[in-house]
Copies of this chain bind each other. A is one copy, B any other.
């Protein structure tokens, strides 16, 4: 599986030459699949539906993509093709903060990608490019080189876990603690019940939950770097 994904992501591009020319291409298929997933959800990406959108037969897709699972892997990495969409910054902390929010924006724009990101996978060329660029930027503004990768991945991991409640708008949090509407639940979970109190400090803090955690993480990295001289 790992090997398969590797060959898929890093393998040679299609070599031109003899034979019937292709109307379809891997890029076109992947792009259309991403469009479907963005608009209708990943579960609506079926080979049939995809073929209809592309105006081709279902089995034609298999000439360009080994199968459905592999298509999803390609879809994910395709999100990170192209240059890293991040502003320049003068301090590594700002670079990492932008990265953190950029990752959040990515998964808000493509909610289906979160499932892919947290599944077993290997790193593709798109993701590798972004991470490599990030490390370069960080070291350029003073972050010790040996910390670059681990800093990027740590923030990335946080972002991955913390972005879930951000997806789907602000009502996510409300739904998540829906059970607190029941008085019996508030008795059973007295500490969580604080959330249901009007004007609760915890509740307001939860509003900016994502940013709060990110800043704490950056604080922690800063303290670590200071402690290393």
Q: Which of A147, A149, A179, A209 has the most CB of B within 10 A?
A: A149
> For residue A6, which residue of chain B has the nearest CB?
B178
Residues of B within 8 A of A178 (CB): 2, 6, 122
Instruction: Give the distance in Å from the alpha carbon of A114 to the alpha carbon of B150 in the complex.
Output: 22
Please tell me how many copies of the chain the complex holds. Answer: 2
Q: Please measure, in the bound complex, the distance between the C-alpha atom of A202 and the C-alpha atom of B149, giving whole angstroms.
A: 7
Given A154-B162, A161-B157; A128-B192 close (CB under 8 Å)? yes
Residues in B neighbouring A162, C-beta threshold 8 A: 154, 157-158, 161
Interface string of A103-129 (1 = CB under 8 A from B): 000000000001101111011010011
Query: Interface residues of A: mostly helix, strand, loop or mixed?
Result: helix
User: Is the C-beta of A175 less than 8 angstroms from some C-beta in chain B?
Assistant: yes
Interface size of A by CB at 8 A reads 70
Interface residue A80 (Cβ < 8 Å from any Cβ of B): no
The answer on a CB contact under 8 Å between A10 and B182 is yes
Given contacts A216-B220, A216-B224, 4 further A-B contacts (CB under 8 A): A120-B168, A122-B178, A217-B220, A218-B220
Residues of A near any B CB (own CB < 8 A): 2, 6, 9-10, 114-115, 117-120, 122-123, 125, 128-129, 131-133, 135-136, 139, 145-150, 153-154, 156-162, 164, 167-168, 175-179, 182, 185, 188-192, 194-195, 200-202, 205-206, 209, 212-213, 215-221, 223-224
